[in-house]
Amino acid sequence: MLKKIIYLSLSVAFLATGIISCKTGDVARAENKAVPAEFAGAVADSANSASVKWKQFFTDPNLTALIDTALQNNQELNITMQEINISQNEIRARKGEYLPSAGLRGGAGVDKVSRYTNIGALEHNIAIVDGKENPEPLQDYTIGAYATWEVDIWKKLRNSKKAAVNRYLASVEGKNFMVTNLISEIANSYYELLALDNQLAIINQNIGIQTNALEIVKLQKEAARVTELAVRRFQAQVLNTQSLQYEIKQRIVETENRINFLVGRFPQHVDRSTETFDNLVPQVVQAGLPSQLLANRPDIRQAEFNLEAAKLDVKSARARFYPQLGITAGIGYRAFDPSYIVKPQSLIYSLAGDLTAPLINRNSIKAAYNTANAKQLQAVFDYERTILNAYIEVANQISKVSNLQSSYELKAKEVEALNQSSAISNDLFKSARADYMEVLMTQRDALESKFDLIETRLQQMNSMVNIYRSLGGGWK
């Protein structure tokens, strides 16, 4: 009879499972991993700079020292490290859910019932030990062990644990992506600091040149060769250049403090190279193949792990529609007197199993299932968006490297031409063959062209750093 009941219950449960399964189809959409065979404007080659470690990619010892310090002290990175620990604990929690749970239990109590009730009258007339009636009030002592276990038939709990593992791996990749961005941000700020130092040196040099020109104009005024207007215009030019000096100094302070923030320390001087910024030459970065982005970019791998977790969440949510099998067991001793607690007659035990399946009012389960499906689609779109963004970033930087190189070459020629023009205008002015406005305009154009040349070189260095980051380099 018991077997018939069990078989009947299982049959009903599996029938309900079949009916439910027909109504809970996944809203699935396969992710698109396809990428072009090569980057636009680049020759297809498997050589990839992303495999180069950052200590080999950046050779300036001052820059590498800053990066080393940042990897230890950056607060945002340390916060992310704690997110990884949280994800690890989530795995332990999910693993514990599908393993049996066991514990010890002990208890003591007292119970007094009225004799003028059916239970009280019955207990009064029953002798338990040595012909004696029940003690009054009745004490109750219990010791024992118990265990509970939800049998994970449909892998609901296992899939939940696997999803937690994938989210842990995603958090690790998130940390790697942050490391890549942190390194590139420090490198870009460092090169900006070198550029500002170079601009400050140029300003100081121009202040000297303009001051000498001012003195010459004053002498010419005394000789009645120019008017007071020329003196005032030259003086204004000197003052304007001197004001630029303090603007550059302020930008240097702010850039230093930005670096100090990234490395996790209070404002202080940032040690840096004294080499002329123009002498820095950006190294050649090999882009490799677009398909290599899937393995090298931490943000793509993070999106991939999140997608796998979302798929497992759908499976776990679907399993909630199916029958759940739970087993409980217990064993111990129970008696009304502590002296009887270990007697064989005081032994108690229990074993029970229950099979439950939702039939009506499943709105909360359906809502959770639909939400899991929607999140899975979100993860698919996010994964595809991340791949597309990575490809475009690299393509943009490849084009930028080429265009900046051509721009730098032309600007270098412009600086050379304007330097010669400045010298010629000064000579012509001394011999009264050129107007002072021509001298001032030429000096201003020469200064601006030098600043533009430094700015172009800075963009080249930043582009070198950014393409290295876009390829997925820096976290290894």
Shared domain for 59 and 183, answered yes or no, is yes
Mean pLDDT of 87-112: 86
pLDDT of residue 400: 92
pTM: 0.84
Shared domain for 52 and 70, answered yes or no, is yes
Mean pLDDT of 437-441: 75
282 found inside a domain: yes
Could you tell me if 342 and 333 are in contact, meaning their C-beta atoms sit under 8 angstroms apart? yes
pLDDT tens for each residue of 125-163: 766 665 556 677 778 889 999 999 888 888 888 999 999
- Residue 148: phi and psi, rounded to 5, are -130, 150
Predicted confidence band of residue 11 (pLDDT cuts 50, 70, 90): low
Whole-number Å distance between alpha carbons of 376 and 250:
49
Burial class (CB in 10 A: 0-12, 13-18, 19+), 373: buried
pLDDT of residue 129: 60
Whole-number Å distance between alpha carbons of 109 and 93:
34
Shared domain for 233 and 115, answered yes or no, is no
Res 52 pLDDT > 90: yes
- The tokens for 17 are 């499972």
171, 176, 178, 183: CA torsion to nearest 10: 170
Which one of 110-124, 220-234, 294-308 scores highest in mean pLDDT?
294-308
Shared domain for 349 and 368, answered yes or no, is no
Whole-number Å distance between alpha carbons of 319 and 358:
11
In whole angstroms, how far apart are CA 438 and each of 84, 112, 376, 397, 427?
64, 114, 68, 40, 12
Whole-number Å distance between alpha carbons of 310 and 313:
5
Shared domain for 379 and 430, answered yes or no, is yes
Shared domain for 145 and 270, answered yes or no, is no
pLDDT tens for each residue of 197-224: 999 999 998 888 888 888 888 887 887 7
Q: What angle do CA 253, 257, 262 make, to 5 degrees?
A: 155
pLDDT tens for each residue of 339-356: 888 888 889 999 998 888
pLDDT of residue 338: 84
Q: For the chain, what is the domain count? A: 2
Whole-number Å distance between alpha carbons of 159 and 95:
10
Could you tell me if 331 and 145 are in contact, meaning their C-beta atoms sit under 8 angstroms apart? yes
225 found inside a domain: yes
Shared domain for 37 and 147, answered yes or no, is no
Helices 363-430 and 298-319, axial angle in degrees (round to 10): 170
What does the mean pLDDT of the chain come to? 86
Shared domain for 58 and 176, answered yes or no, is yes
Whole-number Å distance between alpha carbons of 166 and 172:
10
Helices 75-97 and 61-73, axial angle in degrees (round to 10): 40
Amino acid letter, residue 346: S
Predicted confidence band of residue 6 (pLDDT cuts 50, 70, 90): very low
Res 442 pLDDT > 90: no
Res 101 pLDDT > 70: yes
Tell me, what CATH number does 85's domain have? Answer: 1.20.1600.10
pLDDT of residue 434: 66
Mean pLDDT of 67-75: 95
Q: Return the higher-pLDDT residue of 476 and 73.
A: 73
If one counts every other C-beta atom within 10 angstroms of the C-beta of residue 63, the result is 22
Q: What angle do CA 49, 50, 54 make, to 5 degrees?
A: 95
In whole angstroms, how far apart are CA 83 and each of 88, 99, 170, 210?
9, 25, 11, 57
Length of the chain equals: 476
Domain end (from 356, 375, 403): 356
Shared domain for 352 and 394, answered yes or no, is no
Which residue has tokens 């942190």?
Answer: 182
Tell me, what CATH number does 111's domain have? Answer: 2.20.200.10
Shared domain for 144 and 279, answered yes or no, is no
Q: Which of 26-35, 278-287, 451-460 has the lowest mean pLDDT?
A: 26-35
Whole-number Å distance between alpha carbons of 459 and 464:
8
Shared domain for 344 and 435, answered yes or no, is no
446 found inside a domain: yes
pLDDT of residue 26: 57
15 found inside a domain: no
Find the domain containing 410 and state its range.
26-98+153-322+359-470
User: Considering the chain, what percentage of its residues have pLDDT values greater than 90?
Assistant: 49
If one counts every other C-beta atom within 10 angstroms of the C-beta of residue 108, the result is 10
Res 391 pLDDT > 70: yes
Looking at the DSSP assignment, which residues form a beta bridge with residue 129?
A: 132
Q: Return the higher-pLDDT residue of 426 and 244.
A: 244
10 found inside a domain: no
277 found inside a domain: yes
475 found inside a domain: no
Domain end (from 305, 333, 356): 356
pLDDT tens for each residue of 410-420: 999 998 998 88
Shared domain for 376 and 438, answered yes or no, is yes
Domain end (from 356, 377, 398): 356
Res 111 pLDDT > 70: yes
453 found inside a domain: yes
